[in-house]
Amino acid sequence: MQFSARLVGLWNEELEAPPVSDPYDLKPHIRTVKDYPIAGVEFRDITSLLETPAAFVTACNAMTNICRDFQPTTVVAIESRGFIFAGPMAHELSLPFVLARKPGKLPNAAFSRSFDLEYGSTALEIQKNTAIGSQDRVVIVDDLIATGGTAMGCAELLNEDFGVPKESILVTALINLPALQGSAAIHAAGYQAQTIIAYD
């Protein structure tokens, strides 16, 4: 599948946020499920977007453009919904596609990083034999940034265990929940973050 045929416009060279919260009109394709997975949480359900080919292609194109502007050498996908977007992005850019998985799901020895989430805690692992080093520019892909715990855990793993400089790590996601301060925390830690959609 060729995603380049419908690539949307690049944002500026500084990778600043787009001027509106939904520049590609994707919110109508995302359901909001209240009190899931626990009471008080509004879950942004992307399955309806995935079921709409034009919306899914637009989302992949927009995220791919962020990556293209950053000039990465590797795409790292966060389990599990990050896999959905990172695969097409890595394919379009002809880049290595690395999995950051939950504990116990990788066959080889792995570096691990624990972190807190909006409603719990977990860890991510990347295999130690993965060909990532200090010379690389890495894009981390997920579907959503909430508190930023998942993305920060992955970024810290890449920085501290694989030696990737902070300025060479970009977190990209389809959705940002800025009220939870995750994207702000990522920037404050010295990493870059860019998303397509923002919810108040």
Point out the residues that are catalytic: 81, 118
- Complete DSSP assignment for 132-168: --TT--EEEEEEEESSSHHHHHHHHHHHHHS---GGG
Contact (CB, 8 A) for 76 and 141: yes
Give the contacts of 151 (CB within 8 A, at least 6 positions apart).
78, 140, 142, 145, 171, 173, 182, 186, 191, 193
Q: Where are the alpha helices (DSSP H) in 53-190?
A: 53-70, 81-93, 149-161, 182-188
As a whole number of Å, the end-to-end CA separation of the chain is: 34
